């Protein structure tokens, strides 16, 4: 727990030093690099990118405006993921209810 608090404080300090523009430029750099990857980016690379973006989000905590925007993006994705999961479950349930082999 203490380590997490210390890491969060260090990221907040780094964010304050770098400022809005450099944080945003870093996001663009990371996402562009991933998108243009010759291999198309693997699932592992995609989740590693999410972790990097999480660190940048933590670095935004020093700035109320940037932090608020990061929070709005999180909420959008939170609800989007839940909606996708719900739709997938409903589809699986509907497929399971279908008769097998044309009966």
* Tens of pLDDT, residues 64-102: 998 899 999 999 999 999 999 999 999 999 988 888 765
In a domain, 27, yes or no: yes
- Residue 59 lies inside a defined structural domain of this protein: yes
Q: Which domain holds residue 7?
A: 2-96
More confident residue, 56 or 102: 56
Answer yes or no: is 55 within a domain. yes
Label residue 29 by pLDDT band (50, 70, 90): very high
Split into its structural domains, the chain has a count of 1
Q: Let me know if residue 61 belongs to a domain.
A: yes
Residue 103 resides in a domain: no
Count other C-beta atoms under 10 Å from residue 36's C-beta.
9
Residue 41: predicted pLDDT: 77
For the purposes of burial, counting CB atoms within 10 Å of the CB of 1, is it exposed (0-12), middle (13-18) or buried (19 or more)? exposed
| CB proximity list for 52: less than 8 A, separation 6 or greater | 30
**Domain contains 101:** no
Instruction: Classify residue 9: in a domain, yes or no.
Output: yes
């Amino acid at each position: 727990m203490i380590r997490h608090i210390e890491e969060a404080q260090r990221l907040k300090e780094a964010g304050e030093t770098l400022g809005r523009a450099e944080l945003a430029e870093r996001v663009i750099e990371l996402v562009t690099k991933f998108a243009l990857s010759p291999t198309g980016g693997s699932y592992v690379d995609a989740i590693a990118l999410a972790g990097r973006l999480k660190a940048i989000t933590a670095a935004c905590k020093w700035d109320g405006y940037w932090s608020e925007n990061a929070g709005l993006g999180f909420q959008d994705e939170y609800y989007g993921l839940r909606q996708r999961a719900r739709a997938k479950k409903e589809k699986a349930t509907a497929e399971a209810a279908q008769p097998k082999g044309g009966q």
